[in-house]
């Protein structure tokens, strides 16, 4: 039959099967080698560093040009007191309110003085009794003196005995001693009276100096004491008094920059409440002690002229000015860059300027500080982008990827 299939036609050639299997394995190996090469190239290719940039800007008009350091602090009063009492007593009357201007010695409050007044009356009575006894002794001493004179005459005429004369003399001496003791008792009574008068005076609370009452801390009927007592229900002050003529500024300066501050240095201050008001001031003194917890040094700054708008505990920012740098800044167009953009390269300051995606390492002349910005007197123009974060080994010609 013509369509009969022979057994030879149904036989599978072993050579063709083995050849196909070998070809697939070769393809898999070549694919693996290609992927391994791509992975090696990916991990070993040159990495383009990523940098963060900021733009240099022209210093705004009115900024404290020539500032070598900026700091923030508070308006404080050198004379500030919480006025309290010397005794523990009940408040009877409070004569002060917040914002009231008071003069030195003015009565601020009165305490309950009933007990003190009774003790004063007792002291007066004791003094009167002591003076009465002293007067009686003086009369008796005069009488004893007369008796002594009579006994002396009687003994001289032989009428009286020497024993009677000795008795008269002893009476005189005893009354003299009694008179001296009673004189001392009168002095004691006078001193006791003075103490009781002071006790009454202590119930009247007066202003220790002229100033303004900024708080009222007690009300009539409350107990007041110079120390905390009564489980927290006893007041320790009538009011807080501030001498507005003693206002000054206190700021904490990082100890790494304290060498830029000198006594008498010119300062420009700005109250947080009045940001457009530039207040002239000067450094009074750098307090010779550091805070180890905050790594800061306290600086006292005095206002050149006080103003009613200045209030205790107001927040304030100050710029320490250097006259030489100020004159330099006034003759040049000063730009500001982030303080992180300025780097040290040996003895000079540099910044990394980004042109497109290429780095230019450029030397600059640094002025003072404006908050977290640094004045650049020369080397950078307004609008140029500078690196603020990136690898430290970047140099001129290096390509970078900018992190927006």
Write the pLDDT tens digit of every residue in 109-155: 999 999 999 999 999 999 999 998 888 888 888 888 888 888 888 88
Question: Which pLDDT does position 302 carry in this prediction?
Answer: 94
Choose the weakest-confidence range: 118-122, 167-171, 209-213, 343-347. 343-347
Q: Determine the average pLDDT of the residues in 277-306.
A: 92
Q: Determine the average pLDDT of the residues in 267-284.
A: 91
> With 90 as the cut, is the pLDDT of residue 107 above it?
yes
> With 70 as the cut, is the pLDDT of residue 332 above it?
no
Question: Which pLDDT does position 62 carry in this prediction?
Answer: 46
Question: Which pLDDT does position 331 carry in this prediction?
Answer: 52
Write the pLDDT tens digit of every residue in 202-225: 999 999 999 999 999 999 999 998
Overall pTM surpassing 0.85 (yes/no): no
Q: Determine the average pLDDT of the residues in 64-75.
A: 78
> With 50 as the cut, is the pLDDT of residue 304 above it?
yes
> With 60 as the cut, is the pLDDT of residue 63 above it?
no
Instruction: Compute the mean pLDDT over every residue in the chain, rounded to the nearest whole number.
Output: 82
Could you give the percent of the chain with pLDDT greater than 90? 36
Higher-confidence position of 372 and 82: 82
Q: 3-state SS of the chain?
A: CCCCCCCCCCCCCHHHHHHHHHHHHHHHHHHHHHHHHHHHHHHHCCCCCEEEEEECEECCCCCCCCEEEEEEEEEEECCEEEECCCCCEEEEEECCCCCCEECCCCEEEEECCHHHHHHHHHHHHHHHHHHHHHHHHHHHHHHHHHHHHHHHHHHHHCCCCHHHHHHHHHHHHHHHHHHHHHHHHHHHHHHHHHHHHHHHHCCEEECCCCEEEEEECCCCCCEECCCCCHHHCCECCCEEEECHHHEEEEEEEECCCHHHCCCCCEEEEEECCCCCCEEEEEEEEEEEEEECCCCEEEEEEEECCCCCCCCCCCEEEEEEECHHHHHHHHCCCCEEEEHHHCEEECCEEEEEEEECCEEEEEEEEEEEEECCEEEEEECCCCCCEEEEECCCCCCCCCECEEEC
Q: Determine the average pLDDT of the residues in 27-50.
A: 68
Question: Which pLDDT does position 117 carry in this prediction?
Answer: 93
Please report which confidence band the pLDDT of residue 61 belongs to, taking 50, 70 and 90 as the band edges: very low
């Amino acid at each position: 039959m013509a369509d009969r299939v022979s057994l030879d036609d149904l036989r599978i050639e072993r050579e063709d099967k083995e050849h196909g299997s070998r070809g697939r394995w070769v393809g898999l190996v070549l694919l693996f080698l290609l992927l391994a090469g791509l992975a090696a190239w990916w991990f070993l290719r040159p990495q383009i560093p990523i940098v963060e940039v900021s733009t240099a800007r022209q210093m705004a008009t009115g900024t404290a040009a020539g500032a070598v350091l900026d700091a923030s602090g508070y308006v404080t009063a050198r004379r500030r007191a919480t006025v309290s009492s010397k005794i523990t007593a009940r408040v009877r009357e409070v004569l002060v309110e917040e914002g009231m201007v008071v003069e030195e010695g003015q009565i601020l409050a009165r305490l309950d003085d009933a007990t003190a007044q009774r003790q004063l009356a007792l002291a007066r009575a004791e003094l009167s009794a002591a003076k009465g006894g002293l007067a009686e002794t003086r009369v008796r001493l005069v009488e004893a003196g007369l008796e002594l004179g009579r006994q002396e005459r009687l003994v001289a005429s032989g009428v009286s005995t020497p024993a009677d004369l000795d008795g008269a003399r002893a009476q005189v001496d005893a009354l003299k001693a009694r008179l001296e003791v009673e004189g001392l008792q009168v002095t004691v009574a006078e001193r006791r009276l003075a103490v009781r008068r002071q006790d009454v005076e202590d119930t009247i609370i007066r202003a220790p100096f002229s100033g303004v009452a900024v708080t009222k801390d007690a009300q009539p009927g409350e107990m007041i004491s110079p120390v905390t007592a009564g489980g927290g229900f006893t007041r320790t002050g009538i009011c807080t008094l501030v001498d507005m003529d003693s206002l000054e500024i206190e700021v904490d300066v990082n100890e790494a920059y304290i060498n830029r501050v000198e006594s008498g240095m010119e300062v420009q201050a700005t109250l947080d409440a009045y940001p457009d008001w530039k207040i002239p001031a000067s450094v009074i003194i750098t307090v010779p002690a550091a805070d180890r917890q905050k790594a800061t040094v306290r600086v006292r700054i005095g206002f050149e002229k006080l103003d009613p708008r200045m209030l205790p505990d107001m927040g304030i920012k100050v710029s320490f000015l250097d006259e030489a740098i100020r004159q330099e800044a006034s003759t040049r167009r000063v730009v500001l860059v982030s303080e992180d953009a300025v780097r040290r390269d040996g003895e000079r300051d540099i910044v990394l300027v980004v042109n497109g995606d290429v780095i230019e390492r450029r030397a600059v002349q640094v002025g003072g500080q404006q908050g977290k910005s640094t004045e650049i007197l020369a080397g950078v123009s307004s609008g140029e982008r500078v690196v603020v974060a990136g690898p430290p080994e970047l140099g001129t010609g290096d390509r970078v990827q900018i992190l927006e």
